[in-house]
Amino acid sequence: MSLYQHARDGNAERLRDAMGSDSAAVRKRAAEFLGEVADHGDQPSIDVLLRAATGDEDAQVRGGAVDALDEIGEAALEQLLSELTGTKGSEAEWVTARKFARALQADRPELRMAAANALGRLDDGSGLQHLVEALDDEDARVRLRACQACGTFADPRAIPGLTERLDDEPRVRRAAANALGNIGTDRALSPLLDLLDDADESLRRIAAGALGKANNPEPVEPLARALGDESAVVRNAAVYSIIELLSNVPTQQSHAVRDRVVSELKQADDETVVEPLVEILTDGQQSRQRRNAAWILGRVAERESTVAVEALADALADDDAQTAQFAATSLKSLGGPIVEDRLLDRLGTEHPEDARAKAVFVLGQVGGQETLNRLEEFTDDESPAVRKRVFSAVSKLRAGGP
């Protein structure tokens, strides 16, 4: 049975047995799973991880065991610090940022790793400066964990040190990029612009996903270029960030940014753009993002895009009135037989009254003879709002158009 299966079954005993494997890769993976499965009361698992963290011959296994103890909780991490420093009982009071910070100066890198993890868990900003200094540690494993800890604080004071780590080895670079994204200020995000062209797909994805937090239009063009990335996850992250960017930029810049976004998105592959926009409109939790997605779809989707039309038609019933209005406007912009068919399907009384009224309004702008015939069936509709829209739409269609 695989380690994954043991972890899924919560079988810590089998995972502990795997820590005796001759394979360093197996021991490292077993340690990682133990960190997920064990809890603070599972002393046998903690003991196995303590032995691995302090005595395994492989540095990656020792690092994995340190992280697993950190995952289990502060008490397990304190036991590790006690083991590594030779202190016992009340002497091992590594519960304050000051004492963890002192451990960052220890000779053993595993102790410095544990201290960096611990400082990241503590809600005490006094440890930040020590973590920033640890970004220059000689051991890449310590630098990695210092980057991760700085990311939890999300403090702008870490920006210079994290930016320097973008030239480090791959795992450290990714941790530094994530931390800068967590800080999220324009100053922190600026170094991520160059990462959109990096050879490392993970770094491109991290950068594309973080740049939507910017409060200026500078990332629009680089993110639009990222829509042509060979990686689907990078392209998807870029679309999400473009939508988020529209929500974040100052009002006085929003019109210029919108025009620029539409221009760039129109040049991208339709499927690349439309699918994530539809996902945002359908599943997004923030009203501003759903509004922007609805607005953009009407300007960049092809009128034959069934998935876009379906999403916009469903959005006519959105709880947010502006999202529903933008959806109606976009359906009017798209027009065509697919729009007519989908809106005619939504005229029944099983749909919300306001959504039906909006569907009738759009049909009055884009419909043909078939639509006119169908709308005439609703002149006696039970809803005054729908009847009003029907009379207006029928009048326009009989006259030959809007």
CATH number at residue 55: 1.25.10.10
With tokens 């994290």, the residue in question is 162
Instruction: Give the DSSP letter string of 276-345.
Output: HHHHHHHH-S-HHHHHHHHHHHHHHS-TT-HHHHHHHHHHTT-SSHHHHHHHHHHHHHH-SHHHHHHHHT
At 86 the pLDDT is 59
235: tokens are 């392209």
At 401 the pLDDT is 56
If you average pLDDT over residues 6-20, what whole number do you get?
Answer: 90
Which of 64-73, 189-198, 312-321, 353-362 has the lowest average pLDDT?
64-73
Question: What residues contact residue 92 under an 8 Å CB cut-off, 6+ apart?
Answer: 78, 79, 81, 82, 85
More confident residue, 75 or 395: 395
Backbone angles phi, psi at 319, to 5 degrees: -65, -25
Please count the other Cβ atoms lying within 10 Å of the Cβ belonging to residue 42: 17
Which of 45, 8, 3 is CA-nearest to residue 21?
3
- pLDDT interval class at 88 (50, 70, 90): low
Cα separation, 19 vs 1, in Å, equals: 15
In a domain, 55, yes or no: yes
Cα separation, 308 vs 295, in Å, equals: 11
pLDDT > 70? residue 164: yes
If you average pLDDT over residues 67-83, what whole number do you get?
Answer: 81
Question: What residues contact residue 384 under an 8 Å CB cut-off, 6+ apart?
Answer: none
Which of 71, 34, 59, 29 is CA-nearest to residue 49?
34
pLDDT > 70? residue 248: yes
In a domain, 18, yes or no: yes
At 100 the pLDDT is 78
In the 8-state DSSP scheme, what is residue 372?
A: H
| Average pLDDT across the chain, whole number | 88
Tally of domains within the chain = 1
Helix (H, G, I), strand (E, B) or coil at 214: coil
Cα separation, 245 vs 240, in Å, equals: 9
Which of 155, 148, 80, 76 is CA-nearest to residue 119?
148
In a domain, 23, yes or no: yes
- pLDDT interval class at 89 (50, 70, 90): very low
110: tokens are 């595993």
In a domain, 31, yes or no: yes
Question: What residues contact residue 17 under an 8 Å CB cut-off, 6+ apart?
Answer: none
pLDDT > 60? residue 91: no
CA distances from 122 to 16, 70, 95, 98, 128 (A): 29, 12, 9, 11, 10
- According to the per-residue pLDDT averaged within each range, which of 8-22, 121-135, 142-156, 283-297 is highest? 142-156
pLDDT > 70? residue 379: yes
At 180 the pLDDT is 97
In a domain, 316, yes or no: no
Cut 0.85: pTM above it: no
Which of 170, 166, 172, 161 is CA-nearest to residue 139?
172
Question: What residues contact residue 294 under an 8 Å CB cut-off, 6+ apart?
Answer: 281, 312, 315, 323, 326, 327, 330
If you average pLDDT over residues 365-373, what whole number do you get?
Answer: 88
Which of 189-203, 323-337, 366-380 has the lowest average pLDDT?
366-380
CA distances from 42 to 295, 345, 347 (A): 53, 58, 60
- pLDDT interval class at 263 (50, 70, 90): confident
Determine the structural domain holding residue 51 and report its residue range: 1-90
Instruction: Give the DSSP letter string of 52-90.
Output: HHHH-S-HHHHHHHHHHHHHH-HHHHHHHHHHHHT--GG
Cα separation, 354 vs 174, in Å, equals: 47
Which of 113-117, 129-133, 191-195 has the lowest average pLDDT?
113-117
In a domain, 116, yes or no: no
Query: Based on C-alpha coordinates, what's the Rg of the chain?
Result: 28
If you average pLDDT over residues 243-252, what whole number do you get?
Answer: 78
- pLDDT interval class at 96 (50, 70, 90): low
pLDDT > 80? residue 160: yes
270: tokens are 């339709």
- pLDDT interval class at 146 (50, 70, 90): very high
107: tokens are 């000779």
pLDDT tens-digit readout, 269-292: 667 788 889 999 998 888 888 998
